[in-house]
Amino acid sequence: MSSDVIAPLSNPLPIAQALIQRPSITPKDEGALGVVQTALEAMGFVCRRYPFGEVDNLYARLGNAEPCFLFAGHTDVVPPGTEADWQQPPFAAHAEDGMLWGRGAADMKGAIAAMIASVHRFLDEAGTPDGSIAFLITGDEEGPAINGTKAVLKALEAEGETFSHCLVGEPTNPNALGDTIKSGRRGSLNCRLTVTGRQGHVAYPERAENPIPRLMGLLERLNARVLDEGAPHFQPSNLEITSVDVGNPTTNVIPAEASARFNIRFNIRHTGDELTHWIEDEVAKTALGFNGQVKADIHVTGEAFLTPAGDFTTLLQDAIEAETGRRPALTTGGGTSDARFIQAYCPVAEFGLVGATMHQVDERVPVSDIETLTKIYTRILTRYFTDTPA
């Protein structure tokens, strides 16, 4: 852990730069969590590390009373790609002409810096809150997400830790700061289908068992189902076939095996268990009368959830509108995030920077947006501990 406190902690830019300069590509930390821990400990937070496998995680809390406002996010980043393609080195954290460049600037080291600076400003203005502030920062959001937030939450639950509300700093805005709050997310299911038959010569099909027609028929039935027409606050669920593989280099051999992969993004009209049972039933039908084997390897990586509009989401919208002049819409689109794990423990929403360049070469954000986000987070804390939402 770094022993140097970045001063002043009320300024998010040098914090963001220090974080970006740590090349914390999942699952490596490279000192990124140390930057966060040093800053939080300087403000009186009690910090604990939660290493699981190759992943390190940080939990920090200021105070023990309720309500507890939880900031959540991740310091791990995706690889930068070919570094020569960047206008600025991806881990140099170069600030020029009002822009901060670097891997993680948008997703989401800039937001973590804003969280830290906002807490410093809040404590400086309001003093110790009548309640608690906590941070859960993981190094495994961009990876498998097994040894990160999900594992830490289970450990914290066993230790008796509870939270009242959570704000995740993912880059939720598509075009401008203040566009959208993520108040829910679709669930995600990944499946690999494998059909194993018997290899043979194409001129003697009676001596073989071709797996390809079985696989094609199964995919056709799965893909033909209209899962739903949407749900309140959610777009329709969709199944997307992402790969079909045979690996047969010859023209006169019936292959022994064929496989495929697909993903389902589903709304609150479905659960992972229900979709799993449907797939398993279709697999069983495919196997009838087939002299081979049909398998489905299914993984539900997150359930669909919705934080209903209410006092908490209104508080967030009011704070964002006060600083940006835009009243953000409550949306549920896009991919998954660690909010899918947090929603089982407390109401959760997501709001961070503009994500237009996240995961791209030349990832960057306006420095002014990081400052505005800091003001938003400060206003949220002030309002939260003045009039805690139900």
Report pLDDT digits (tens) over 252-310.
999 999 999 999 999 999 999 999 999 999 999 999 999 999 999 999 999 999 999 99
Q: Give me the tens of pLDDT residue by residue for the chain, a chain 390 residues long.
A: 444 778 799 999 999 999 999 999 999 999 999 999 999 999 999 999 999 999 999 999 999 999 999 999 999 999 999 999 999 999 999 999 999 999 999 999 999 999 999 999 999 999 999 999 999 999 999 999 999 999 999 999 999 999 999 999 999 999 999 999 999 999 999 999 999 999 999 999 999 999 999 999 999 999 999 999 999 999 999 999 999 999 999 999 999 999 999 999 999 999 999 999 999 999 999 999 999 999 999 999 999 999 999 999 999 999 999 999 999 999 998 888 999 999 999 999 999 999 999 999 999 999 999 999 999 999 999 999 999 998
Which of these is catalytic: 29, 56, 107, 141? 141
How far apart, in whole angstroms, are the C-alpha atoms of residue 374 and residue 285?
A: 55
- Whole-prediction pTM: 0.92
| Strand 293-302 versus strand 187-196 pairing type | antiparallel
Length, in residues, of the chain: 390
pLDDT at 6: 84
| Percent of the chain clearing pLDDT 70 (strictly above) | 99
Give the residue among 330, 324, 327 at the shortest CA–CA distance from 310: 330
338 contacts 350 by C-beta, under 8 angstroms: no
Tell me, yes or no, if 4 is annotated catalytic: no
**In b/e form, how buried is each residue of 138-147, taking b as 16+ CB within 10 angstroms?**
bbbbbbebeb
How far apart, in whole angstroms, are the C-alpha atoms of residue 2 and residue 38?
A: 7
Q: How many CB atoms lie within 10 A of CB 282?
A: 19
Per-residue pLDDT tens for 157-174? 999 999 999 999 999 999
pLDDT at 5: 75
Tell me, yes or no, if 66 is annotated catalytic: no
Which of these is catalytic: 29, 56, 76, 338? 76
Kindly list the structural domains of the chain, giving each domain's residue range(s) and its CATH number in brackets, ordered by start.
12-185+304-386 (3.40.630.10), 187-302 (3.30.70.360)
Instruction: For Cα atoms 370, 342, 192, give the angle at the middle one, nearest 5 degrees.
Output: 105
Half-sphere exposure of 131 toward its Cβ, with a 13 Å CA cutoff?
21
Helices of type H across 146-246 = 149-158, 211-224
pLDDT at 292: 97
